[in-house]
Amino acid sequence: MSLDLTWFGHATWQIQAPPHWIVIDPFFDENPVCEQSAEKVECDYILLTHGHFDHVADAAAIAKRTGAQVLANYEITNWLRKQGVASVMGMNLGGTFRTKFGAVKLTPALHSSMLPDGADGGVAGGFLLEIGKSRIYFAGDTALFSDMSLNARKPIDAAILPIGDLFTMGIEDSIEAIKLLKPEYVLPSHYGTWPQIAQDVEDWARRVRAETSAVPVVLKSGESFRLER
């Protein structure tokens, strides 16, 4: 089974695991490095790591139009329900929900989570996904923390990590995170969107190759990576 990981810039990703299409942290229309409009996005699941605008911006609109089920922490799903999103699954850290495409575990992240209107967004998280034989770790917005290594008790095929610095870990700490996680492939996220989180991603990739056992996969906004398993 193969699946495709598509980056839409910033922290917005889509996983195509036919017949399922999963969108993570939908930030399309106001994302300066994304060509795709929210109106054209098709998916049957939406996963939200935390409540910040650059992660939930288009979630309600896409969920209402497509009927996709939204998985997020309990506070965020409550907020979406009040906006008329019917199909939600509220979770909390450490919990796993079994979807039609595989298992979704909400993992800890070190970050904040207030929703755009000031509502309580619970705590920030990440996702550990088991889709067929693939394990994918989506760290979400986070600082480096050593317990991240607990996600690597079973091998991780692909890890998606923030590298932008300022709001999340930067390049230096992402290298440490990769050493803890030991993924086969690592894909950078949450950088290059605005000048404050600009990064030299080729330098990051060189360091990943030199200092870790992982293979760096640098995508341009709109590009996909096929994970064969």
Q: Specify the 3-state DSSP secondary structure of 211.
A: helix
Taking residue 170's Cβ as centre, other Cβ atoms within 10 Å add up to 19
Residues 53-82 that bind Mn ion (CB under 5 A): 54
Residues 120-179 that bind Mn ion (CB under 5 A): 141
Residues 23-52 that bind Mn ion (CB under 5 A): 52
Least Å distance between CB 154 and Mn ion? 27
Least Å distance between CB 106 and Mn ion? 17
In the complex, residue closest to Ni ion by CB: 52
Least Å distance between CB 117 and Mn ion? 17
From Ni ion, Mn ion, none, which one binds at residue 173 (CB under 5 to 8 Å depending on kind)? none
Residues 170-229 that bind Mn ion (CB under 5 A): none
Counts of helices then strands in the chain (DSSP H, E)? 5, 14
- CB contact at 8 A, 212 and 178: yes
* Residue 80 token pair: 């979406």
Give the span between the Cα atoms of 92 and 95, in whole angstroms: 6
User: Which bin fits 150, alpha (ψ -120 to 50), beta or left (φ > 0)?
Assistant: alpha
From Ni ion, Mn ion, none, which one binds at residue 10 (CB under 5 to 8 Å depending on kind)? none
Taking the CA atoms of residue 114, residue 119, residue 123 and residue 127 in that order, the dihedral angle to the nearest 10 degrees is -80
Beta pairing partners, 98: 103
From Ni ion, Mn ion, none, which one binds at residue 58 (CB under 5 to 8 Å depending on kind)? none
Least Å distance between CB 141 and Ni ion? 4
Choose between 10 and 105: whose C-beta lies nearer to Mn ion: 10
Choose between 25 and 157: whose C-beta lies nearer to Mn ion: 25
* Residue 178 token pair: 């990769």
**Element (DSSP H or E) covering residue 71:** strand 69-73
Least Å distance between CB 34 and Ni ion? 17
Helices 171-181 and 201-211, packing angle to 10 deg: 40
From Ni ion, Mn ion, none, which one binds at residue 157 (CB under 5 to 8 Å depending on kind)? none
Chain residues binding Ni ion by CB under 5 A are 52, 141
Count of residues that bind Mn ion according to CB under 5 A:
3
- CB contact at 8 A, 43 and 66: yes
Least Å distance between CB 197 and Mn ion? 9
Choose between 54 and 75: whose C-beta lies nearer to Mn ion: 54
Q: Return residues touching Mn ion (CB under 5 A).
A: 52, 54, 141
